[in-house]
Amino acid sequence: MSFVCNHLAIIMDGNGRWAKKKGLPRSAGHQAGTEAAKRIVTACRKMGMQYVTLYAFSRENWSRPREEINFLFDLLVRFLSQELNMLVEQSIRLNILGNWEEMPFAVRQAIKHACAKSRAGKEMVLNMALNYSGREEILQACRNLLKQDLDPADLNEQVFRDQLFTAGQADPDLIIRTSGELRLSNYLIFQSAYSELYFTPTLWPDFDEEELHLALEDFKKRERRFGRVERIE
C-alpha cells in the first residue's frame, strides 16, 4: 500500500554552504534558495498536494548578522510581490505560521497584501513559517487557553490544535530537511508527532523536482502505523 502525501513540510537548509562551495557570498545562496522554493511550490501544486510548509525564517534566525537578516527580508518581500500572481492563478492560499507582527513594516505589509489577495485559493495552502518557533507556538496556545478559563477536563487535542498556527490543517505527512543536518530545529514540534522524516545531503539551492520525487518515493515505501498494530502473526 502506498501513502499519499497531503502535507509536505520542508526545512530549507544549506544556502550558505552552497554559496561558500561556489565562492559566492551567502546572499547568493539565499537567492538561489528562493528559486528552489518557487520550483518546489509549483511542483507540489502540480501533484495536487494540499499543504506545503516552508521554514523561511525561524525565531532563532534573528541572531544572524543584521546585513543577512535584511537581505532575507528583502528577498521575502520580493518573493511575495513577484509570486503573488502565480499564487492567485494557481489557487494557492498563503498562510503564515509564526509571530509575523514582530517583523519590519515592509515585510508585514507584503504579508498582509499577499494573504488578502490569495485568500480565495482553494487548491493548496502555502504555509510560510516566519519568526516561527515550535515551542513558542505551544506556549502561546497554552496562554490563550488559560485566558479562556478553560476547565482542565475540557482540554483535549482538538481544543489545543485550534490554538496552533496550523488550526484546521492536517499534520505534515512528510518533513524534508536538506543539507545533511539530522534534526527538526524547533519546527512544527506538536504537529510532527507522526510525520515521516526524510534527510538528504543535497543543499537546498540544488533541491529540484527529481530530488522531490526521490523523497516522495521513499515516503511511499514507509509503513505508517501511528502506534497501531496492523496484524498479529
The closest alpha carbon to 210, from 78, 40, 42, 46, belongs to 40
SS (H, E, C) the chain: CCCCCCEEEEECCCHHHHHHHCCCCHHHHHHHHHHHHHHHHHHHHHHCCCEEEEEEEEHHHHHCCHHHHHHHHHHHHHHHHHCHHHHHHCCEEEEEECCHHHCCHHHHHHHHHHHHHCCCCCCEEEEEEEEECHHHHHHHHHHHHHHCCCCHHHCCHHHHHCCCCCCCCCCCCEEEECCCCCCCCCCCCCCCCCCEEEECCCCHHHCCHHHHHHHHHHHHHCCCCCCCCCCCC
Does 79 help bind ligand FPP (rule: CB under 6 A)? yes
Q: What's the min distance (Å) between Cβ of 51 and ligand FPP?
A: 16
Q: Is 15 a catalytic residue?
A: no
Q: Which residues between 208 and 227 bind ligand FPP (CB under 6 A)? A: none
Q: Which residues between 140 and 179 bind ligand FPP (CB under 6 A)? A: 179
Does 110 help bind ligand FPP (rule: CB under 6 A)? no
Q: What's the min distance (Å) between Cβ of 2 and ligand FPP?
A: 29
**Choice from 34, 95, 191, 200 touching ligand FPP (CB under 6 A):** 34
Q: Which of 6, 61, 144, 186 is catalytic?
A: 61
Scanning 12-20, 153-161, 210-218, 221-229 for contacts with ligand FPP by CB under 6 A, the matching segment is 12-20
Scanning 27-35, 103-111, 167-175, 208-216 for contacts with ligand FPP by CB under 6 A, the matching segment is 27-35
**Choice from 7, 8, 10, 13 touching ligand FPP (CB under 6 A):** 13
Q: Which residues between 56 and 75 bind ligand FPP (CB under 6 A)? A: 56, 61, 75
Residue numbers at the binding site for ligand FPP (CB under 6 A)? 12-17, 30, 33-34, 37, 54, 56, 61, 75-76, 79, 179, 204
Catalytic residue numbers? 13, 61
